[in-house]
């Protein structure tokens, strides 16, 4: 069926298997009649999210259904954002990113069914901890998984552009899942194996390339690498793996004020590096309980991001692990 694609990383997932069984049983794809809404669990700028279950399934697995009012979005000129999120979700198959289980239309509503994360988000979880911050070991765990998710997105040419604790959900097993891709930029840049001499611009501005052996791409991307015209047939020791979409640029002012990068705050163009800036702010907030440039107004926050140097709390001596975190 059209609204079901194979997701190898979900092969042992009961919720995914139940969706596949229901989809193949209908042969024409799932519709709103196949789901029972339980309660609303969230709302955002482009839609409302409901906890739901398959109506007639033996396995009562839970899912998250995002319902988008297309007419309301059209009035706010935000239809393109919803379409971008759906486009990106169809591309993803990764342990730390959402799985698109089904999509369908119902009247003037567009619905997407995804994995449900019962652990809430890291913003709510942080506020439940003493001093509203995570331990260094917990912060390192979450930061590592977010980093891996961002790297995968960049391999696909996707710049996330909306990293913040509210968008990092926690699964029942404690692992994370990034959410909300309506502000993301999807470029045609893809990961490739190149030689230093094959780059058209050996010293591009803000070059944050990740080099790694060409024998270590993710298996789910392997076929894309070797379809790319960028692949060079050279000796292995002359090759490097380019995972970052360094050619993707945008001038859109998007993101949450406390998390946006200096180039965005200054009104300039930006690329993939904005995600790594946001990761640094994300780590800072998890460890210290707040962001480093926050101010009473958005205007002052933006000014701080551009002009104020980064500082750290001095209330107690920093451990070696904390110094390592600060270096990031």
Q: Cα(154)–Cα(163) distance, rounded to whole angstroms?
A: 14
| R_g of the chain, CA atoms, integer Å | 21
SS (H, E, C) 276-328: HHHHHHHHHHHHHCCCCCCCCCHHHHHHHHHHCCCCCCCCCCCCHHHHHHHHC
C-alpha distances out from residue 15 to 35, 59, 102, 150, 234, Å: 13, 8, 12, 25, 44
Please give the DSSP secondary-structure letter assigned to residue 121. B
- Residue 28's contacts (CB-CB under 8 Å, 6 or more residues apart) are 1
Torsion 126-168-317-262 (CA) sign: negative
CB 62 within 8 A of CB 54: no
Helix extents (H) in 63-206: 70-75, 79-91, 122-127, 136-155
Q: Cα(56)–Cα(76) distance, rounded to whole angstroms?
A: 37
Task: Tell me the catalytic residues.
Answer: 162
Q: Cα(240)–Cα(231) distance, rounded to whole angstroms?
A: 10
Q: Cα(147)–Cα(131) distance, rounded to whole angstroms?
A: 25
Q: What is the DSSP string of 76-110?
A: TT-HHHHHHHHHHHHH---TTS--EEEEEEETTEE
Q: How many CB atoms lie within 10 A of CB 60?
A: 9
∠ at Cα 47 (180, 45), nearest 5°? 70
């Amino acid at each position: 069926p059209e609204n079901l694609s194979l997701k190898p990383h979900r092969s042992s997932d009961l919720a995914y298997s139940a969706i596949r069984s229901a989809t193949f049983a209908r042969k024409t794809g799932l519709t709103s009649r196949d789901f029972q809404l339980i309660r609303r669990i969230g709302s955002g700028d482009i839609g409302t999210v409901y906890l739901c279950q398959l109506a007639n399934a033996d396995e009562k697995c839970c899912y998250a259904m995002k319902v988008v009012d297309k007419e309301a979005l059209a009035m706010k000129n935000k239809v393109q954002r919803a379409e971008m999120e759906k486009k990106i979700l169809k591309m993803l198959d990764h342990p730390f990113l959402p799985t698109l289980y089904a999509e369908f239309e119902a009247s003037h509503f567009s619905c997407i069914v995804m994995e449900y994360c019962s652990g809430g988000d890291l913003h709510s979880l942080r506020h439940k901890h003493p001093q509203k911050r995570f331990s260094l070991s917990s912060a390192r765990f979450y930061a590592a998984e977010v980093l891996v998710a961002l790297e995968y997105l960049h391999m696909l040419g996707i710049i996330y552009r909306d990293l913040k604790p509210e968008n990092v959900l926690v699964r029942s097993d404690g692992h994370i899942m990034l959410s909300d891709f309506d502000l993301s930029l999807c470029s045609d840049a893809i990961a490739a194996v190149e030689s230093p001499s094959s780059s058209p611009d050996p010293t591009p501005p803000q070059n944050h390339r990740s080099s790694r052996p060409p024998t270590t791409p993710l298996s789910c991307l392997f076929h894309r690498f070797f379809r790319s015209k960028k692949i060079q047939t050279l000796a292995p020791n002359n090759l490097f793996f380019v995972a970052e979409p360094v050619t993707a640029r945008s001038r859109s002012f998007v993101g949450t004020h406390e998390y946006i990068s200096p180039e965005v705050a200054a009104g300039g163009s930006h690329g993939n590096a904005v995600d790594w800036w946001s990761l640094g702010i994300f780590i800072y907030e998890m460890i210290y309980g707040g962001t480093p440039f926050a101010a009473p107004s958005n205007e002052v926050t933006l000014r701080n991001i551009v002009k104020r140097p980064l500082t750290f709390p001095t209330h107690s001596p920093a451990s070696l692990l904390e110094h390592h975190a600060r270096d990031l």
